[in-house]
Amino acid sequence: MSQTYPDPVATTQPSLLATLRTLALPRSARLSRDGVAFARIWPDLATVPGLLISPLQEFWLFQAARALPNTATIVEIGSFKGRSTSALAYGCRGTERHVYALDTFDGNDNDFDTRGFRAEFDANIARGGLTDYVTAVPGRSLETAAHWDRPIDLLFIDGSHDFDDVVADFHGFVRHVRPGGLVAVHDVLPTWEGVDRAWREVIAPELIATGNCATLAYGRVPS
């Protein structure tokens, strides 16, 4: 009887060095401590379905979370199946930082028609070993905003892309963001006219030290 062995190519994760070499990040990022830490998690993170511009924006979220105080609170509006949530949560490992993942987990009626992905979200977070760092908050973001009472260190907005909804998400939560805290908005580009206009006309003018990582725009709440 012949013995069968697992295919080493299919079962072995790429080496850290190989991942670092192939990661499409700026050289300075790849050589940083955060870059090396990111290369360790990237093979797992890359298996989670999501809608970011990869790997740049995952790295931005990971690095932003790692730079927060050890007990920081992160609020994400729009988690989908957990790609951006995981990038943030990997940046919380070994600390008391925590990600609150707000989503209907059922899309919406104007710009997101994927339904019923809560189980997939939970499975992806568990597979990454991130369950202790993530709390899913199911429901419409504005309903959650109505009873939110926790100070926020990083607010990431990627829920409904309708202009009024983005503005309402911003106003519903920015009042809880600590002075100096970060606000980031995804999909700031002309294709998403509602998000683009909300950022330019309402959100950016209320923030300082604004910048962008491709289509992810960010700034800080003035102290």
Ligand X SMILES: C[S@@+](CC[C@H](N)C(=O)[O-])C[C@H]1O[C@@H](n2cnc3c(N)ncnc32)[C@H](O)[C@@H]1O
Residues within the interface to ligand X (CB under 6 A): 50-52, 78-80, 83-84, 102-104, 107-108, 112, 140-141, 158-160, 165
The nearer residue to ligand X, 103 or 222, going by C-beta atoms, is 103
Cis, peptide link before residue 55, omega less than 30° from 0: yes
User: 92, 157, 158: which is closest to 125 by C-alpha?
Assistant: 92
Cα torsion angle, 142, 62, 161, 188, sign = positive
The nearer residue to ligand X, 10 or 146, going by C-beta atoms, is 146
To the nearest whole angstrom, how small is the minimum distance from the Cβ of residue 49 to ligand X? 7
The nearer residue to ligand X, 19 or 108, going by C-beta atoms, is 108
Structure token digits, residue 148: 């939110």
To the nearest whole angstrom, how small is the minimum distance from the Cβ of residue 164 to ligand X? 11
The nearer residue to ligand X, 71 or 131, going by C-beta atoms, is 131
Cα(148)–Cα(182) distance, integer angstroms: 17
To the nearest whole angstrom, how small is the minimum distance from the Cβ of residue 203 to ligand X? 17
To the nearest whole angstrom, how small is the minimum distance from the Cβ of residue 195 to ligand X? 10
What count of other Cβ atoms lies within 10 Å of the Cβ of residue 47?
Answer: 12
The nearer residue to ligand X, 63 or 79, going by C-beta atoms, is 79
Structure token digits, residue 99: 């990600």
Cα(204)–Cα(215) distance, integer angstroms: 14
To the nearest whole angstrom, how small is the minimum distance from the Cβ of residue 82 to ligand X? 7
- φ, ψ dihedrals at 216, nearest 5°: -100, 115
Q: Are 100 and 73 in contact (CB under 8 A)?
A: yes
